[in-house]
Structures are given as C-alpha cells and as structure tokens.
Structure 1
C-alpha cells in the first residue's frame, strides 16, 4: 500500500454546490474509511467558508488513487478548480485521529512547501510528509498538518523558505 495526498481546491462560487453535495461526498469517503490517514476542509482565513478538500489515503496503487481523486463526488460535479494528486512519504506514525497534543486556543493549518525533505519535530505537527511524483521518486515538496496559534507560526513550523498556509480542520467522520 502507498499513501496519496489529494487536495482539491474549490472553484470560485462553488460553495453552494459543495454544500448540497456534502452527504454524497461523505458517502463516497465512507467507502475508504479504513484507508484514510487524514481528511478535512481548508477554510477561508475567518473560518466561515471552505476553500478546498484535503485527503491523505492509503491505497494499493496509482490507479486506485486516481479513482479516489477523480471519481469523487465534488470532482465529478465541478466543485474543484484543481486537484493535486501526489504520493506522500508520511514521516508521522498513525493518523490525524491519533494526534494527542491539541491546544484549545490553537488553530489547525495545512502547510505546503516546495523545499527539500527535512525532518520536522514539534508536538504541534499532526502529520508531515514529502510529496512525491506519482510514478517516480521525484521530490515535489512537503505537506504538513499542524496546530499553531497563527498562520505565521504554522509557516515557521515548516522551516521553509516559502510556505503556502491554509486554515484547515479535521473533517468527516471516523
């Protein structure tokens, strides 16, 4: 089995459609419940609306990963402007549901970088891994799910020259 990183970024104006399709999206995801490592929506800075949908899933091969990403309800309906599908070499044991260091006043973030592989050690890292091409060992960057007081502090946890930070929250059901 291989872990895959799937991040669909919402198309402008797709919020209402996404809201209507959420039960169907969850039903699709329920078929993968045992394979999900992390999931949840990215959010606007104020947390009032979604901007995307993140999943890290353990699947047998690239074909299964493509099916997961492109047969999914939101993708099929045109909710996403784009979908990033890569392999992820996860350096964190367990799943997001195993994270035990939550701080009530902190927020959660998805942090994406294009930096080289690097070990990240912090009790506030929920998950960290290297993003790799689907069919080669080409390193594309890193993805981190972190908890921090601010987006700037989340970027600092990544220890990267440039970090693309998105408010994020645990999603779905387990």
Structure 2
C-alpha cells in the first residue's frame, strides 16, 4: 500500500531540521526500497529557500507501519512539524520519482494538492499523480501531483482548486 506523508513545518522547524539532517537521512535509508518519492516543500526555488515541510510517498504494509514511519522519524520526534498529514495514495503513474526523466530546463518542481476529485489529464510534466484516500481507504479526499512547471501559478493550474508548493527531489546531498 502506498501512503502519502507530509509533515508541515512549525515556525522554527527549519532550524530543527538543519540540525537533524543526517539523522533524518539515516532513518530514511532504512526505507530506501519502499520510497516512491521524497523531498522538501520550500518557501521558493531560490538559493536561500527554507523548507516548509517534508513529503514522502512510501510503500508500506499497513496503517501501523505508516504511523511508525511518520511518528518515529527524527524531525517529527524533535518537534519540527506543526502537523503531519497521512493519506493512502493511489499512484496513477505507476512509477517512482527516480523513474521520471523529463526534466525541462528552467522548470521547477511542485507539490500540488486539491480536495476536488474531478478528472485530471496528466501530462509528461507529471512526476507522480494520484488520488488521496483516508488511511483506511474508505473515503477519497482529494488528489496530489508532483509536477514540473515554469512557475507556481502554472503548477497550481494542473488540478482544480489547488494549493501548490515549491518542492524538490529529496535525499542525501
């Protein structure tokens, strides 16, 4: 089962995360074979951007496993997050972020989410796209896409009634 896990930073969370990067990456190393996508949401795509959250899409056996993943993670345990959203994720692309090779010069990457459940026509600029469900898979609550686009406004237009956040591929640097 794939799960979408997004920890939204609390004020001051960035400083906590900077101190714990190695612990976070080591924790994620234990899930390397199960990660579908990972990376920070950001204030912008500039060199001085700060994180606003941490996104992970991970393939785990059940709700208990995803809760351990989310709540034993070092950033969470240290109080870096204001909230953590956990959803079942039905991946319509059938790939991981590492399978995406369509990077366009001068485009950036974004996390786009909506509570709308209307039809979407994915393009070659979708890194991943899927439906969001409650963790028990009983109710569809929205959609999420990781996309590349020339701007935040262009990214926000791919899903109806969307919120969009600068995002980048994550992992060890």
Query: 1:9-158 counterparts in 2 under 5 A?
Result: 9-47=8-46, 48-116=49-117, 118-158=119-159
SS of alignment partner, residue 157 of structure 1: coil
SS of alignment partner, residue 17 of structure 1: helix
Whether the 8 Å contact between 1:131 and 1:141 is mirrored in structure 2 is yes
In the TM superposition, residue 16 of structure 1 has moved relative to its aligned partner by: 1.4
User: Structure 1: how far apart are the matches of 2:17 and 2:143?
Assistant: 27
In the TM superposition, residue 79 of structure 1 has moved relative to its aligned partner by: 0.2
Q: Which ranges in structure 1 are unaligned for 5 or more consecutive residues?
A: none
- 1:90-135 deviation line (CA, Å, top 9, x unaligned): 1012100111111011010000100115343201000000000011
- 1:5-29 deviation line (CA, Å, top 9, x unaligned): 0000000012111100010000000
Whether the 8 Å contact between 1:120 and 1:128 is mirrored in structure 2 is no
Whether the 8 Å contact between 2:2 and 2:60 is mirrored in structure 1 is yes
SS of alignment partner, residue 81 of structure 1: strand
SS of alignment partner, residue 16 of structure 2: helix
In the TM superposition, residue 136 of structure 1 has moved relative to its aligned partner by: 3.4
Name the TM-score, length of structure 2 as normaliser. Answer: 0.95
Whether the 8 Å contact between 2:122 and 2:129 is mirrored in structure 1 is no
User: Structure 2: how far apart are the matches of 1:62 and 1:121?
Assistant: 28
In the TM superposition, residue 46 of structure 1 has moved relative to its aligned partner by: 4.7
Q: Which ranges in structure 2 are unaligned for 5 or more consecutive residues?
A: none
Name the TM-score, length of structure 1 as normaliser. Answer: 0.94
SS of alignment partner, residue 157 of structure 2: helix
In the TM superposition, residue 45 of structure 1 has moved relative to its aligned partner by: 2.5
SS of alignment partner, residue 148 of structure 2: strand
CA RMSD after TM alignment: 1.3
1:168 aligns with 2:159: no
